[in-house]
Structure 1
Amino acid sequence: MVQLSQAVTAAILATGVFAHPGGNVNKEILRRQAHLDHSERRNVQSCKRDLIGSGWVREQHQRREARLHELRVAAGFAQPGDLVRRDVGEVEEEYGVQASCTLDPEATEGPYWVVGELVRQDLLTGEKGAITHLDINVVDTSTCKPVTDAYVEMWGSNSTGVYTGVQSRGNGDGGSSSLVSNALRGLQPTGANGTATFITVIPGHYVGRTNHLHTIVHHGATLLPNNTIAGGTISHVGQFYIEQNFLNQVEKTAPYNTNTQKVTTNAQDMLFNMGKQGGDDPVMKISLIGSKIEDGLYATIDVGVNPKARRNPAPVNMWTSSGGKPYPNSPWTGYPDT
């Protein structure tokens, strides 16, 4: 078990680290440290033998290979019979080393979570950027089996660092127009292999944070007639990241290159560095669909959760037919303007 030293933790706390402009995340750092120190903590790597033995690792690797090839064929960059598969033995040997993270208590939900989003795969709603087909596998680290009955929630800022459904000075341009949009927000159920898939964009940067996607895993929720969910419990609140060199290339493309907000790199982001502790790797594995970023991306990550864990994140707004509306008694109300 890898732990932060007491000296490092103290240094982080002393800096008054910000999850978003204006918001102190000392409680989140302490929660993450307590999670890392827990004697019963298990991550995806802990389940490596079981997942390989059941054939799940092999099946998921082959499924993902086929999906990437399918996307390349659909975009005109490959022919149906061109698929070349990687040696599965190599994949099994490397499994759990990269792009796999244990996300039960990991990170803050931040001030831009909007509850009541729609169950849908395509989150774009007209947004432009590095279009990303995101493939998430959810694993129960207490049983080492895929989680087949959860809802994965996903949201992130747009290519210029603005979140929809909210309004604040710390949210990109701070304009009210974003209140009436639910772009780049939604949920998907996990399937038979524990898989949830989305179409989104690589998020842009904004002041105080490196580029990241937010995620929440819901268990036991009920699908309502209006295509939202209600009830159940939340085991995980976390964030996904992008490898810095690749991210630098994304930021050079349009419309990312029009973003004038100050850049925070992964190395400068304390929540990113906390997420890398304890053998976890919250960095998505990303492949080009074509020859350049503008042709689209395919991203994958495996997430380990304990379905019995209980988190109680707080939304700032709730999504309604007329846009984002304040959530009653939210601790994020007015944040970070106050």
Structure 2
Amino acid sequence: MEIKRLSRRELIKYGGIALFGAAAGGMLTGCSQANFSNAVADGAESVSDGNGGSCAQIPSETAGPYPAHDDSAINVLRLNGIVRSDVRSSLNTGGYTGSSTATGVPLTLTLNLLDVNASCAPLAGYAIYLWHCDINGKYSMYSSGVTSETYLRGVQQTDSNGSVTFQTIFPGCYDGRMTHIHFEIYPSMAEAVDDSYIVRTSQLTFPLATSSSVYNNASGYSASKTNFNKISFATDNVFSDGTAYQMASIQSGNYSSGFVASLDVGIKV
């Protein structure tokens, strides 16, 4: 009898596991999901691209917290203006009246979507939805004080190189989680409106030295510095099983001028 290995997402879906912790004092206390770090083998074998490089299927991770389309009353993917490259400002639409712009160290992030089953060929025409917390560790639309804001959320279509580039800020570090950014992959822009069409859900992170330089030196990240010093990849409930395929590469920059970063994201089509 063939035994089906469930992904983290499937374990969550079928196991009925509660994912999210409550926010305390206006700051998120972190995701309280069960630790799936060693529960599932994700089959992320490396594949050569024929040019001396390689790619691997990115691990599947929980969508939490707050993808903002998991509630029948909330679907950020259907808001006017959500298709955008610069996600720093709020949309002020669909009943969300916030008009704030997220402040923080500038981050230009490129995701390169690759087909693991086709020698790492670029996947054009797919849609990638990205979201993350702000400088204070808060998520727009949900966290205390920013429920009317829609910043740090956006969708884009991959170009002929399989790439999308977002203009955002370096995320804060809230209590209980390492620095991270969430993203979901959809087969097309037309299908990037409902979570039933998701091809892959994952998260990315940054080198320790990069996060440390931001939290120790950049203005506004004092709470992140405290939280960052209490956590590690080994104790994080998402990255404890490794970061090899989820570690963004820093191309250039610093905490003062901002960073340019990228990540190759492999999926099996």
TM-score normalised by length of structure 1: 0.59
Work out whether 1:257 is the aligned partner of 2:222.
Answer: yes
Residues 218 and 232 of structure 1 are in contact (CA less than 8 Å); yes or no, is this contact kept in structure 2? Answer: no
Determine which of 242, 246, 255 is the counterpart of 1:293.
255
Which residue number in structure 2 is paired with residue 124 of structure 1?
A: 88
Contact 1:203 1:212 in 2 (8 A): yes
> 1:25 touches 1:108 (CA, 8 Å); kept in 2?
no
Q: For the residues of structure 1 that align with 2:130 and 2:195, how far apart are their CA atoms?
A: 17
1:162 maps onto 2:143 in alignment: no
Q: 2:215 is matched by which residue type in structure 1? A: E
Q: Which amino acid aligns with 2:161?
A: N
Amino acid of the residue matched to residue 165 of structure 1? M
Counterpart check, 1:212 vs 2:180: yes
Q: 1:129 to 1:262 in 2, by over 3 A?
A: same
Cα deviation, residue 110, structure 1: 1.1
Match of 2:108 in 1: 133
* Contact 1:19-1:271 within 8 A present in 2 as well: no
Query: Structure 1 residues 193 and 306 mapped into 2: Cα distance closer, same or farther (>3 Å)?
Result: same
| Distance in structure 1 (CA, Å) of the matches to 2:123 and 2:196 | 15
Quick check: 1:306 aligned with 2:261? no
SS in 2 for 1:34: coil
CA positional deviation for 1:188: 0.7
Task: Give SS of 2:183's match.
Answer: strand
> Could you tell me whether the CA contact under 8 Å between 1:204 and 1:211 is conserved in 2?
yes
Instruction: Give the direction of change, closer, same or farther, for the CA distance of 1:231–1:165 in structure 2 (3 Å limit).
Output: closer
How far off its partner does 1:28 sit? 7.0
2:200 alignment partner in structure 1: 236
Judging by fraction of residues, say which structure has more helix. 1
Aligned to 1:204, the other structure's residue is in SS state: coil
Give me the whole-angstrom Cα distance separating, in 2, the residues matched to 1:113 and 1:19: 12
Contact kept? 1:240, 1:284, Cα under 8 Å: yes
Q: Which residue of 2 aligns with 1:182?
A: 150
What's the Cα RMSD here? 2.6
Q: 1:134 to 1:229 in 2, by over 3 A?
A: same
SS at match of 1:114: coil
Query: 1:11 is matched with which residue?
Result: none
AA of the residue aligned to 1:161: G
State which structure, 1 or 2, has the greater radius of gyration over its C-alpha atoms: 1
Q: Distance in 2 between matches of 1:217 and 1:134?
A: 16
Using the aligned pairs only, state the percent identity: 22
CA shift for structure 1 position 112:
1.3
For the structure 1 residues 28 and 236, does the alpha-carbon distance in structure 2 shift closer, same or farther, using more than 3 Å as the test? farther
Q: Partners of 1:303 and 1:19 in 2: how far apart?
A: 26
Confirm or deny that 1:102 pairs with 2:57. Answer: yes
**Aligned-pair distance for 1:262?**
3.0
Name the structure 1 match of 2:125: 149
Q: Between 264-273 and 121-130, report the one with greater CA deviation.
A: 264-273
C-alpha distance in structure 2 between counterparts of 1:19 and 1:229, whole Å: 23
- Is contact 1:19-1:208 (8 Å) kept? no
Equivalents in 2 of 1:27, 1:282: separation in Å?
16
In the alignment, structure 1 residue 34 sits paired with structure 2 residue 9? no
Q: CA deviation at 1:27?
A: 5.4
- Say whether the 8 Å CA contact 1:133–1:198 is kept in structure 2: yes
1:268 maps to amino acid: T
Once the two structures are overlaid, the 10-residue window that deviates more, 242-251 or 231-240, is: 231-240
The whole-number CA distance in structure 1 between the counterparts of 2:20 and 2:204 is 14
Within a 5 Å distance, the mapping from 1:53-72 to structure 2 comes to none
Deviations 1:157-188 (A, max 9, x none): 11121111113xxxxxxx2x311111111111
Structure 1: runs of 5 or more not aligned: 1-15, 53-91, 168-174, 308-338
Change (3 A) 1:260 1:140: closer
The one of 66, 87, 104 aligned to 1:112: 66
Task: Give 5+ residue unaligned stretches, structure 2.
Answer: 1-16, 22-29, 70-75, 90-100
SS in 2 for 1:182: coil
Contact 1:221 1:231 in 2 (8 A): no
Other-structure match for 1:24: 33
Does the residue aligned with 1:179 lie in a helix, a strand or coil? coil
Q: Is the 8 A contact 1:164 1:181 kept in 2?
A: yes
Deviation at 1:133, TM superposition (A): 0.7
Q: Distance in 2 between matches of 1:22 and 1:214?
A: 13
**Hey, what's the Cα distance between the residues in 1 that align with 2:68 and 2:37?**
19
SS in 2 for 1:23: coil
Q: 1:219 touches 1:232 (CA, 8 Å); kept in 2? A: no
Number of residue pairs matched? 219
